[in-house]
Amino acid sequence: MKIDIEKDFSILKPFGPSVLQVKIPEKILKELNKYVDETIINKNKTNELNLGKNLAGDVTQEFKLEQEFMTNVGWLKFLGNCVQKWIWLDQKKKITKFNLIDSWIVRQFKDEYNPVHWHGGHVSGAGFLKVPDTLGTHYQDKGDKEYLGGTLNLIHGSRQFLSNAKLKIIPKEGDFYFFPHYLMHTVYPFKGTDDERRSISFNAFIDENIFDVHGRS
């Protein structure tokens, strides 16, 4: 799948490690949502693919995507191409390996959340397949204080003078973010709707000699 770097890529540097923002191609986005819609009505299949016991979230449902499906709709190739271009643009290094560990769906509804956690592998990512029209507002009058309900927050280090420690991401359908596996992150609970906040994530390994900047491999 050909990606227009100028149009589709944004490399964000809110703190130490870079974060890649990209749009999921519309065709793949539709296929992913269709797959989820068909899977969730098949209890045997969702039980077979269930990842809830292995993941951090306190949410309604989490299940992995099947390898054949990811290959057929171009999701696997999309992830690999994006990571390859991200590492090249940021580090001027060309990866030769992209070994997917898992990619999975998170179905989150009001009052549910994902606590602060990090991922396995070398590189990870998270993006949005469905987003409610509203994620709620503050219970009290908070003036100009930001509302965090339903947002994805990437965390690195601590807040200091001239240093950011958090990147708040407001979910938008089709947006996807790539980040190093160790980057801590959390999703806050939302309210004011019964609609689903549907997201997708992945973990993968790349070339060990590129990931291991200390040369220990």
Q: Which of 9-18, 108-117, 158-167, 198-207 has the lowest mean pLDDT?
A: 158-167
AA identity, residue 196: E
Domain count, the chain: 1
Question: What is the tens place of the pLDDT at every residue in 152-196?
Answer: 999 998 878 877 899 999 999 999 999 999 999 999 999 999 999
Residue 159's φ and ψ, nearest 5 degrees, are -70, 120
Residue 199 lies in a domain: yes
How many CB atoms within 10 Å of residue 105? 23
Q: What residues make up the domain containing 72?
A: 7-207
Whole-angstrom Cα distance, residue 201 to residue 121?
A: 13
Q: How far apart are CA 6 and CA 85, in angstroms?
A: 12
pTM assigned to the model: 0.93
Tell me if 217 is assigned to some domain: no
Answer left, alpha or beta for residue 43, where phi above 0 means left and psi between -120 and 50 means alpha. Answer: alpha
Q: Return the DSSP state at 7.
A: H
> Is residue 215 assigned to a domain?
no
